[in-house]
Chain A
Amino acid sequence: MSDVNLAEDIQADRSKMHVSDTDVAIEITGMNKWYGDFHVLRDINLKVMRGERIVICGPSGSGKSTMIRCINRLEEHQKGRIVVDGIELTSDLKKIDEIRREVGMCFQHFNLFPHLTILENCTLAPIWVRKMPKKQAEEIAMHYLERVKIPEQANKYPGQLSGGQQQRVAIARSLCMNPKVMLFDEPTSALDPEMIKEVLDVMIGLAEEGMTMLCVTHEMGFARKVANRVIFMDQGQIVEQNEPEPFFTNPQHERTQLFLSQILNH
């Protein structure tokens, strides 16, 4: 699919969106988080619709990772509400597991399991968490490995793959759980330039299929192409959010302007 088509599709998506409760994938209201005395996240409010693609950017240490990690409880928030797919995140372990099953996550450093083959990495969660028969899990895994274009690596170990290939496996591993939401935390920032594209292509493909995505990234080309909304964070707050075009061409807030001038000029 060409970029033009994609852009049109996305425009169409945007106009199709109605706001009703069942369409809300993630709702964060008044969320606050502290590390000891340090107030990392302040009054975060964010509503993500199903099929929406959100790019989060901001300077280092602004709390981007912390925010998206709160969504699947890798970090605990101290105040406010997070509702994912209609389930509120509390300290109830059952709820947490339920949410983690529906939310996939890709990390900056891939975090593949080095003692398992690529195929085993992909089938592990479906088999143990979804209780899927091994055979079926392997079929699904091969399907997604084909989608990220590395089925031939299925029996290798992560240590034998390049960074870009590892990150694509990590995406396939998450997809095998058939998640409703995908979180990405700087998926390309540990990669060499020539590998960034192969990973972004996979993510664009996901966007085309209507996956709900929250992506922390500084790849502004990617943000322009696929995001419905770009969020700018600074010092633990959401400072500004807008559709990509106006966000990039006409940022409202001073800090956003400063940030954009810094990253776009380099």
Chain B
Amino acid sequence: MSENTFAYVATSEKPQLPPPQGTTGAVGWARENLFSSPLNTILTLISVFVVFSTVPGIFNWAFVNSVWNANSLDECRALTENGACWAVIRERYHQFLFGFYPTELYWRPILAFVLLFVALVPALWDGMPKRGAALMASMTYPFVAFWLIWGGFGLEPVSSTKLGGLLLTMIIGVSGISFSLPIGIVLALSRSSNLPIVKSLAVIFIEFIRGVPLITLLFVAHVLLNYFLPKGVNFDIVLRVVIMVTLFASAYMAEVIRGGLAALPKGQYEAADALGLSYWQSMRLIILPQALKISIPGIVNTFIGLFKDTTLVLIIGLMDPLGLVAPTLADQRWNGIFVELYAFIAFMFFIFCFAMSRYSMYLERKLHTGHR
């Protein structure tokens, strides 16, 4: 063979060709995600327009032009044309956090708040050493918190009428959340059980509570309960509200969890039965861990709804953050300052709701043990 034969097989390794132009890097990403079709292109352009026409304005209002030091709305307005007047928050944030709780006793709700996280650690962290004992210790938290907030037994008592702001939201929200989950589980199990009486009681309760607006229940707590209760028995309005909010949330919780129970394959129940596990053992060890996992998005949804619904208590005269807007406006100096107050309240709620939402996403990822 002569030297100038053609070779169709490469005699040396050729470098890999780069991917077609425009599929990698910023341009590629944009082309794939933002401009992949005419509709996408239009949507992208509209979004860009919306972002550019709103964000700078909001940013300037909230940060660039805002005023932190002023004694009244008029002073603010004199300092800036179109900036937020955060001075009102600076002056009154403690009210939005604690209501009319005595200033010198602020350390008590703060301590209760910190202890809440300490108490949550064993519940949220399943790899904790000595978790069982820690959980038992966490069980005492409600009593400790109650004592710290309301006082008594050596601490100066504080009346419920003084509670307000985020403190009140947290009291109602946290108690509602922590009691509605177990009650909801019991209701869901009852509704899915074969025992006719247990089942109908659960159905009646759930359907009744779901069929009534929360505001109605709050009015019942506020006004009607006095007629129903024996004379002389008069328990705290905050406690009554907590009970109503808890019952309301448990009915929703029960249905969310029942959805999870129904989603489990029948084989899981059968395998548990066939191994000789008792009803409660199979629920606790096999069924509920899986059903609750399926229900996490719905459960957290209910939690977040409950947390925000606590603002409804302003209707019966409790001073939750929204309820505190009116007294602030009643002050001559701050008359007319709506937006800043509502923005601040929205921000507080957002932090808590967003945290719950993130935690639920983390939990879902962690509990994922591979496809079935």
- List residues of chain A with CB under 8 Å of any chain B CB: 72-74, 97, 100-101, 103-105, 107, 109, 111-115, 124-125, 128-129, 157-160, 173-174, 177
Return chain B residues, CB-CB under 8 Å to A103: 274
Kindly identify which residue among A74, A125, A157, A173 contacts B277, using a CB–CB cutoff of 8 Å.
A125
A125 and B370 within 8 A (CB): no
B278 and A157 within 8 A (CB): no
Return chain B residues, CB-CB under 8 Å to A74: 270, 273-274
B276 and A159 within 8 A (CB): no
B268 on interface, CB distance cutoff 8 Å: yes
> How near does chain A come to B271, taking the closest CB pair, in angstroms?
4
B137 on interface, CB distance cutoff 8 Å: no
A107 and B271 within 8 A (CB): yes
A72 and B274 within 8 A (CB): yes
| Distance between Cα atoms of A124 and B284 in the complex (Å) | 12
Kindly identify which residue among A114, A159, A173 contacts B275, using a CB–CB cutoff of 8 Å.
A173
15 A-B pairs in the complex with CB atoms less than 8 angstroms apart: A72-B273, A72-B274, A73-B273, A74-B270, A74-B273, A74-B274, A100-B276, A111-B267, A113-B290, A124-B285, A157-B369, A158-B370, A173-B275, A174-B275, A177-B276
> Which residues B244-279 have CB closer than 8 A to chain A?
265, 267-268, 270-278
Return chain B residues, CB-CB under 8 Å to A128: 277, 281, 285
B130 on interface, CB distance cutoff 8 Å: no
B273 and A100 within 8 A (CB): yes
* Residue with the highest number of chain A CB atoms closer than 10 Å, among B273, B274, B289: B274
| Distance between Cα atoms of A111 and B277 in the complex (Å) | 15
> How near does chain A come to B135, taking the closest CB pair, in angstroms?
19
B371 on interface, CB distance cutoff 8 Å: yes
> How near does chain A come to B83, taking the closest CB pair, in angstroms?
53
B34 on interface, CB distance cutoff 8 Å: no
A100 and B274 within 8 A (CB): yes
Return chain A residues, CB-CB under 8 Å to B274: 72, 74, 100, 103-105, 174
| Distance between Cα atoms of A97 and B273 in the complex (Å) | 8
B293 on interface, CB distance cutoff 8 Å: yes
Return chain A residues, CB-CB under 8 Å to B277: 124-125, 128-129
* Residue with the highest number of chain B CB atoms closer than 10 Å, among A101, A115, A173: A115
Kindly identify which residue among A73, A112, A177 contacts B271, using a CB–CB cutoff of 8 Å.
A112
Return chain B residues, CB-CB under 8 Å to A104: 274
A125 and B275 within 8 A (CB): yes
Return chain B residues, CB-CB under 8 Å to A97: 276, 278
> How near does chain A come to B118, taking the closest CB pair, in angstroms?
28
Total B residues in contact with A, Cβ cutoff 8 Å: 23
| Distance between Cα atoms of A64 and B369 in the complex (Å) | 34
Kindly identify which residue among B270, B293, B367, B372 contacts A158, using a CB–CB cutoff of 8 Å.
B372
Known: A124-B285, A159-B371. A111 touches B270 (CB 8 A): yes
A109 and B290 within 8 A (CB): no
Return chain B residues, CB-CB under 8 Å to A173: 275
- List residues of chain B with CB under 8 Å of any chain A CB: 265, 267-268, 270-278, 281, 285-286, 289-290, 293, 367, 369-372
> How near does chain A come to B290, taking the closest CB pair, in angstroms?
5
| Distance between Cα atoms of A158 and B370 in the complex (Å) | 8
Smallest Cβ-Cβ distance to B266: which chain A residue: A111
* 16 more A-B residue pairs beyond the given contacts A100-B273, A111-B265, A113-B286, with a C-beta to C-beta distance below 8 A: A72-B273, A105-B271, A105-B274, A109-B267, A111-B267, A113-B268, A114-B370, A114-B372, A115-B290, A115-B293, A124-B286, A125-B277, A129-B281, A159-B372, A174-B275, A177-B276
Kindly identify which residue among A111, A113, A125 contacts B276, using a CB–CB cutoff of 8 Å.
A125
Smallest Cβ-Cβ distance to A170: which chain B residue: B271
Q: Which 9 A-B pairs have the closest CB atoms?
A: A159-B370, A111-B271, A111-B267, A100-B276, A125-B275, A157-B369, A105-B274, A101-B276, A129-B276
Return chain A residues, CB-CB under 8 Å to B272: 113
A114 and B276 within 8 A (CB): no
| Distance between Cα atoms of A115 and B288 in the complex (Å) | 11
A107 and B267 within 8 A (CB): yes
Return chain A residues, CB-CB under 8 Å to B290: 113-115
> How near does chain B come to A119, taking the closest CB pair, in angstroms?
13
* Residue with the highest number of chain A CB atoms closer than 10 Å, among B276, B289, B369: B276
Known: A124-B285, A128-B277, A128-B281. A113 touches B271 (CB 8 A): yes
| Distance between Cα atoms of A85 and B307 in the complex (Å) | 56
A157 and B370 within 8 A (CB): yes
| Distance between Cα atoms of A148 and B276 in the complex (Å) | 22
Smallest Cβ-Cβ distance to B278: which chain A residue: A97
Smallest Cβ-Cβ distance to B372: which chain A residue: A114
Smallest Cβ-Cβ distance to B289: which chain A residue: A115
Return chain B residues, CB-CB under 8 Å to A101: 276
Kindly identify which residue among A107, A124, A159, A160 contacts B270, using a CB–CB cutoff of 8 Å.
A107
Return chain A residues, CB-CB under 8 Å to B278: 97
Smallest Cβ-Cβ distance to B290: which chain A residue: A115
Smallest Cβ-Cβ distance to B287: which chain A residue: A113
> How near does chain A come to B277, taking the closest CB pair, in angstroms?
6
Smallest Cβ-Cβ distance to B272: which chain A residue: A113
Smallest Cβ-Cβ distance to A99: which chain B residue: B276
Smallest Cβ-Cβ distance to A127: which chain B residue: B285
> How near does chain B come to A157, taking the closest CB pair, in angstroms?
4
* Residue with the highest number of chain A CB atoms closer than 10 Å, among B270, B278, B289, B293: B270
> How near does chain B come to A73, taking the closest CB pair, in angstroms?
8
Return chain B residues, CB-CB under 8 Å to A157: 369-370
> How near does chain B come to A166, taking the closest CB pair, in angstroms?
10
> How near does chain B come to A183, taking the closest CB pair, in angstroms?
8
| Distance between Cα atoms of A128 and B279 in the complex (Å) | 12
Return chain B residues, CB-CB under 8 Å to A124: 275, 277, 285-286
> How near does chain A come to B57, taking the closest CB pair, in angstroms?
49
| Distance between Cα atoms of A74 and B268 in the complex (Å) | 12
| Distance between Cα atoms of A113 and B282 in the complex (Å) | 11
Return chain B residues, CB-CB under 8 Å to A115: 289-290, 293, 367, 369
